[in-house]
Copies of this chain bind each other. A is one copy, B any other.
Amino acid sequence: MGLLLDVIEGKEVPYTPTWLMRQAGRYMPEYRAVRSQHSFLDMCYKAEVACEVTMQPIDILDVDAAILFSDILPPLIPMGLDLEYIPGTGPVINNPIRCEKDLERLNFSPDLKFFQYIQDAVSMIRGKLPKEKDLIGFAGAPFTMASYAIEGGGSKSYEHIKTLMYREPKTFHKLMQLITDVTKTYLKMQLDAGAQMVQIFDSWGGVLSREDYLKNAHPYSCEIISWLKKQASKPVIHFVKGAGSWFDAASNSEADVCGVDWTLDLDLAFKACNNSKVLQGNLDPIALFAPQEVIEQKLKLILDQAKGGKGHIFNLGHGIIPKTPVENVKFVVDKVRELSAR
């Protein structure tokens, strides 16, 4: 049992624990060495490779928790979506869902044996990881998953998903419900295989108005969270990037922890959720490019804003980007520990 669980259970901790979104990633030479040997999907599918890169930030940075190495998108594959990672472009869905007729190409009874790889990876990682380090499983939130399934990749304006949502709410709902159902099982498998908690990433929910988020995204995320809380008594972290002025709405769920990005100060976030949640965040990942004295000042501000709150897990407000200096990432992990020591 690690420090994240302690914070979530309201226990005293010696310092604010840290993990970092995309802590296993291209900014690390050790990661790039493994990556050069495998395709991205193979890295997800091969338990020993996923395990190796998951362990790298534990060994190199001594972060307080490991997050399963994987990507949010592979669960779309058994649903019938043709996912491809194109170097330089990113993930592409070659058969995006744009209208009711496109639903015919979806598999509404996906073969869940597809997810054997994630169970194997989680149980191998849990076997290797020191007991005092929590293992975090994860999945994309339905809105974010659907945005890839509908847009066919990344997007600037999210015009296709919003258009479908407005014009064909039934089609949108069918896709969202399929993703929701599959995600429940996918996350439950990770918890059963030994993950201490799971995080639901809503990377793109923040492109919605409060009204549209509450109507079209939140209910599906909440359905997963509530189901998991019934099925497994393990914590759930819910992160909606860009929730900003409607964080009060986004945090209104059975999640134990809410992620916060750097555009919302932690003290305001605690206030917005009536101090009902442990909060996770919220350094701008680009602040990792700053001189260490600037980083330190930012860490002090974040730790200060978290004081008086229900509980705090230190993290970034989004994933580490490729050119980030490793020494600054290590500096953050060490400095948070030092500055927050009780």
Contacts and interface: CB of A to CB of B under 8 A. Distances in A.
Interface string A165-184: 01100000000000000000
Interface stretch (A28-36, A73-81, A206-214, A229-237): A206-214
Contacts of A263: 206-210, 242, 244-246
Interface stretch (A16-24, A92-100, A135-143, A282-290): A282-290
Interface in A250-304: 262-265, 268, 284-287, 289-291, 294, 298, 301
Contact of A158 (B264, B286, B291, B298): B286
Contacts of A210: 263, 265
A272 to B, nearest CB: 8
A45 interface: no
Given A157-B286, A301-B211, A264 B245 contact: yes
A162 interface: yes
A284 B323 contact: no
Interface string A195-218: 000000000001111111000000
Nearest to A269: B245
A265 B162 CA distance: 18
A159 interface: yes
A10 to B, nearest CB: 26
A268 B321 CA distance: 33
Counting chain B CB atoms within 10 Å of each CB, which of A207, A285, A289 scores highest? A289
A220 interface: no
A107 interface: no
A186 interface: no
Given A157-B321, A286-B159, A262 B209 contact: yes
Contact of A212 (B158, B206, B242, B284): B284
Contact of A244 (B212, B244, B286): B244
A39 interface: no
Contacts of A301: 211
A116 interface: no
A204 B256 CA distance: 32
A314 interface: no
B286 A162 contact: yes
Given A242-B263, A247-B245, A166 B287 contact: yes
Given A159-B321, A263-B208, A301-B211, A291 B166 contact: yes
Please give me the 3 A-B residue pairs with the lowest Cβ-Cβ distance, nearest first: A244-B244, A166-B290, A162-B286
Interface of A: 157-159, 162-163, 166-167, 206-212, 242, 244-247, 262-265, 268, 284-287, 289-291, 294, 298, 301, 321, 323
Given A167-B291, A244-B264, A245-B268, 18 more contacts: A157-B285, A159-B286, A166-B287, A166-B289, A208-B263, A208-B284, A209-B262, A209-B265, A209-B284, A211-B298, A211-B301, A212-B284, A242-B244, A244-B263, A245-B247, A245-B263, A245-B264, A245-B265
